[in-house]
Amino acid sequence: MRAVARLSAIGLALAASAVVVQPAMADEPGGVVTGSAWFDDNGDGLRQPGEAPRAGYTFLIPGLYRAATTDANGNYRFEDVPAGTYVVTMFARQYETVFTKSGGDSDFDQNTLDTEKFTLAPGGQAGPYDAGFVPGRFDTAVDRVDAPRFMHVGDEVDVEVTYRNKGNQPTPLHGHATLPEGLTPLSANAPVWHVDGQRVSLSSVYQADTYIGESVTYTIKARVDGPIRRGEIVVTAETLGAPDVNLDNNVKKLKVWAF
């Protein structure tokens, strides 16, 4: 399992801006980059007849600091683009509508939100880089809670919590773990964590995303301060700023004993 925090779209746009843009010579003609946006009704990554264009979607070429918005027919167009190597990406991160799967008619990666890199010759043409959209679906889950089931007073133990991104877009992973009386949380290895009594908040750092299907595991260090009889470790997953479409996988519990 990879537990990787990645930059958000904004971070990616800034990182991509480090790509060197060859300035056009005065007599070099500019190039054109085109594409379109549509709504992928059946979510198959292919554009069937009847799947409607999307107007008003704005795309960005990060190294150029230039944006283009789709017209009523769903088409966007960058003109006078100097020769160079680029990607096209979303201008601003969206959550309500996200990219459909790529590899068919949609050229934008669901996780990086970028097209593949392409090189534009002087006066050249690139594209069309087409973007299919589907409704955004946030689904974070508690995949696993692990700790010694039988502990001894005085032990220091690890409580491992694994969260997984089961939605259709990159997202930070957050949650809480509440330990039973007798098991005192000391610290956690999450990028952002906080202990409040028996409750530990766990979070990937602000705007760090976990890719679709990926998981992160956080380890809580705890000390057994007293006997525990059928105590429960309760772990919850939470989304930030968007409803989770499946709440059934947001809680996991583990029974523990200490003597």
Could you list the residues that contact Ca ion (CB under 5 A)? 40, 42, 44, 46, 48, 139, 141, 244, 246, 249-250
Residue 198 or 236: which CB sits closer to Ca ion? 236
In angstroms, give the least distance from the CB of 39 to Ca ion: 9
Tell me the residue type at 61. I
Residue 62 or 132: which CB sits closer to Ca ion? 132
Residue 53 or 148: which CB sits closer to Ca ion? 53
Residue 21 or 234: which CB sits closer to Ca ion? 234
In angstroms, give the least distance from the CB of 139 to Ca ion: 4
Single out the residue of 144, 161, 157, 176 nearest to residue 228, CA to CA: 157
Residue 47 or 91: which CB sits closer to Ca ion? 47
In angstroms, give the least distance from the CB of 184 to Ca ion: 29
In angstroms, give the least distance from the CB of 133 to Ca ion: 11
Residue 163 or 218: which CB sits closer to Ca ion? 163
In angstroms, give the least distance from the CB of 84 to Ca ion: 33
In angstroms, give the least distance from the CB of 48 to Ca ion: 5
- Interatomic CA distance for residues 193 and 156, integer angstroms: 19
Residue 45 or 148: which CB sits closer to Ca ion? 45
Structure tokens at 105: 């008619």
Q: Is the Cβ–Cβ distance between 147 and 202 less than 8 Å?
A: no
In angstroms, give the least distance from the CB of 173 to Ca ion: 11
Beta-carbon contacts of residue 76 (< 8 Å; ≥ 6 apart)? 34, 35, 36, 37, 57, 58, 59, 68, 69, 70
Structure tokens at 135: 């409704």
